[in-house]
């Protein structure tokens, strides 16, 4: 039987590429640069399937120019805000993602960012690395303690719950906002808040784990930063669109926010150059899921979805 043609838009894990090459007539973008609109449109006439990453943008304008050959977009990501889902559905193109498998890796990174932001990791590393550590006193680099503090989580999906589980190891008091209250078995004693505003008032630490949608764009704005306890720490490992970056800088300048730990930004790649002047912003380049184990699992999950689709079955992660 003739193999289905598959375009993999980025350099995925070796194990993923080996399996894909075995089962599909695959073309791999070894240059590892984001696929352009022109490339996506051309690919729709040459391939039966695409495995893209968050770096490829399936806008309505792009999808409208697709040829009928393309049948499925099997994302190598959980978030699908780079895909216009109604436009793809309107063209009869199936869309899948890779939930579950990156929850722990992303939650680990959120914990790193929370601890690093709270305990002056940026300034401390710089002082030691540059030879500037020449004194000590009880007032030197005093940070914010995580153990026993109140943690607010916005979005108690898979990643939010994984982060809550790790935070319990620090005896944190877990509060959360979600579109709906979790059953007790999933909440594990966490306190539910029916509004974001109610949650913010008790969040000594705040971690964002909700998707980027029109409703959540600039979720954390000036008004909401003002509701946090003075000296709170905010962590974002979800999407840069969730945070009004100018409002964040203003809250930091006022001392309303003591520190921030960020793995995602409005502009990616690149981030916000204005953040570089602030030692109390601990930043990483959107690497929440970047472990070998997770990258293999994400690639295999995307391929599982393709295998099911071309076998005439409903993919497990069909959106």
Each residue's pLDDT, cut to its tens digit, for the chain (319 residues) gives 799 999 999 999 999 999 999 999 999 999 999 999 999 999 999 999 999 999 999 999 999 999 999 999 999 999 999 999 999 999 999 999 999 999 999 999 999 999 999 999 999 999 999 999 999 999 999 999 999 999 999 999 999 999 999 999 999 999 999 999 999 999 999 999 999 999 999 999 999 999 999 999 999 999 999 999 999 999 999 999 999 999 999 999 999 999 999 999 999 999 999 999 999 999 999 999 999 999 999 999 999 999 999 999 999 999 9
Residue 113 belongs to what H/E stretch?
helix 103-118
| Residue 234: Cβ-neighbour burial (10 angstroms; 0-12, 13-18, 19+) | buried
Q: Which residue numbers are catalytic?
A: 239, 268, 286
Say how far apart CA 231 and CA 240 lie, in whole Å. 22
Strand partners, 49: 6, 72
Query: 235: which DSSP letter?
Result: E
CATH number for domain 103-283, candidates 3.90.1150.10, 3.40.50.720, 3.40.50.1370, 1.10.630.10 = 3.40.50.720
Say how far apart CA 210 and CA 157 lie, in whole Å. 8
Measuring CA to CA, how many Å separate 296 from each of 100, 301, 316? 13, 9, 18
Task: Region of 236 please: left (phi>0), alpha (psi -120 to 50) or beta.
Answer: beta
Domain 5-101+292-310 top-level CATH class: alpha beta
Query: 177: which DSSP letter?
Result: E
Every domain of the chain with CATH number 3.40.50.720 lies at: 5-101+292-310, 103-283
């Amino acid at each position: 039987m003739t193999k289905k043609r598959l375009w993999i838009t980025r350099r995925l894990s070796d194990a993923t590429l080996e399996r894909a090459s075995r089962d599909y007539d695959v073309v791999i973008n070894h240059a590892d640069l984001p696929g352009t609109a022109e490339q996506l449109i051309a690919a729709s006439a040459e391939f039966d399937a695409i495995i893209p990453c968050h770096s490829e943008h399936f806008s309505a304008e792009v999808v409208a120019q697709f040829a009928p050959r393309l049948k499925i977009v099997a994302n190598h990501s959980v978030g699908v805000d780079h895909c216009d889902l109604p436009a793809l559905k309107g063209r009869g193109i199936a869309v899948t993602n890779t939930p579950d498998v990156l929850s722990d890796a992303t939650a680990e990174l959120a914990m790193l960012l929370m601890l690093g932001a709270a305990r002056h990791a940026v300034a401390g590393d710089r002082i030691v690395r540059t030879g500037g550590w020449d004194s000590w006193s009880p007032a030197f680099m005093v940070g914010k303690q995580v153990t026993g503090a109140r943690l607010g989580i916005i979005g108690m999906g898979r990643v939010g719950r994984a982060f809550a589980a790790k935070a319990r190891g620090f005896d944190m008091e877990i509060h959360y906002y979600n579109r709906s209250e979790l059953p007790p078995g999933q909440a594990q004693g966490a306190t539910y808040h029916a509004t974001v505003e109610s949650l913010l008032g008790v969040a000594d630490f705040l971690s964002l784990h909700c998707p980027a949608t029109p409703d959540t764009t600039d979720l954390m704005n000036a008004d909401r930063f003002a509701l946090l306890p003075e000296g709170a720490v905010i962590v974002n490992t979800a999407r840069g669109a969730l945070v009004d970056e100018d409002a964040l800088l203003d809250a930091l300048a006022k001392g309303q926010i003591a520190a921030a730990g960020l793995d995602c930004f409005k502009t990616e790649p690149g981030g916000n150059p204005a953040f570089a002047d602030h030692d109390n912003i601990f930043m990483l380049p959107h690497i929440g899921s970047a472990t070998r184990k997770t990258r293999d699992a994400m690639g295999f999950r995307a391929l599982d979805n393709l295998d099911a689709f071309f076998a005439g079955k409903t993919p497990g992660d069909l959106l």
